Structure 1
C-alpha cells in the first residue's frame, strides 16, 4: 500500500506542551519539563493518521520569535525557513499557552507570515479557566 506522507513541525514557546503532544502522537517518550530548554534539538517521530496517511512529526525547541538568540532557537528558525537540509515541514502546529495568549500573538503572526499552513492549538485551557481567563476561540 502506498502511504502518503506529511511532515508536521510542532512549534511554540518553551513549556507550551510541544513535547507532550509529540509523545502522545508518536508513542515515544521525549523528556518533558516545566522549565525552558528541555528540548534543545529537533526530535522526529511518526504517527499513522489513517486513510493511507503517515505523519512525520518534528518536535522543535521552544522559541518566542523568529529572531533567534540561543542555539536551540536557531534550530527552529532553520527548519521553519526551510534552511535545514535534513528536515522540511509541510505544515506547522503552533502550540499556544492559553495563560499567556498575548505573549504568543506576535510569534503567531510571524509564523503565519511564512505562508506555511498553520494550525493553532491552545494548550493549558484548564489552567486558564481556573484563573478566570476567557478566550474567544472562534474569534481567535
Structure 2
C-alpha cells in the first residue's frame, strides 16, 4: 500500500509522536521512511541577517553549526529509530517555507504518505501562527496522517 513514507520533523515531542506512527506504518507495509527537516526561512529571517539567510536558502546551512546540529539531530533520530526496527531511512534537509518544501519533497521523491504531528491549536493562536500541518494538507495530493500530540 505504501512504499515511501515521509515524516517531516523538527525534533520536537510533537514530531516524535508522529515518528512512532510513521515507523509502525512503515513496518507494517514494508516501506522506507524519509525524514525531512525544513529550515524555516520565514521564521529565521526575523533573527538572522540577510547574508546568513541567503546562505540557508542556497542550502549552505552547514556553515551554521546550530542549524546543522538541529537538522542532523532531528533526522538522525528518525534514522536511528528506523534502523533499530530494520526499516530503511532516508535523511534530507531543505530550506524554505515548511509546507511548500514538504509538498515539493513529496512530488520529487514519489512519497505515498505523509505522517506529521499537530499541536492542536485552535482559535486566535491558530489564526495568528498558522499551521504547517494544515497548509501541508492543502498543498499535497497524497494522504496525510495527522497525529494529535495532545493525546496518547
TM-score (structure 2 length as normaliser): 0.43
Instruction: Report which of the two has the higher share of helix.
Output: 2
Higher relative contact order (CA 8 A, sep 6+): 2
Instruction: Report which of the two has the higher share of strand.
Output: 1
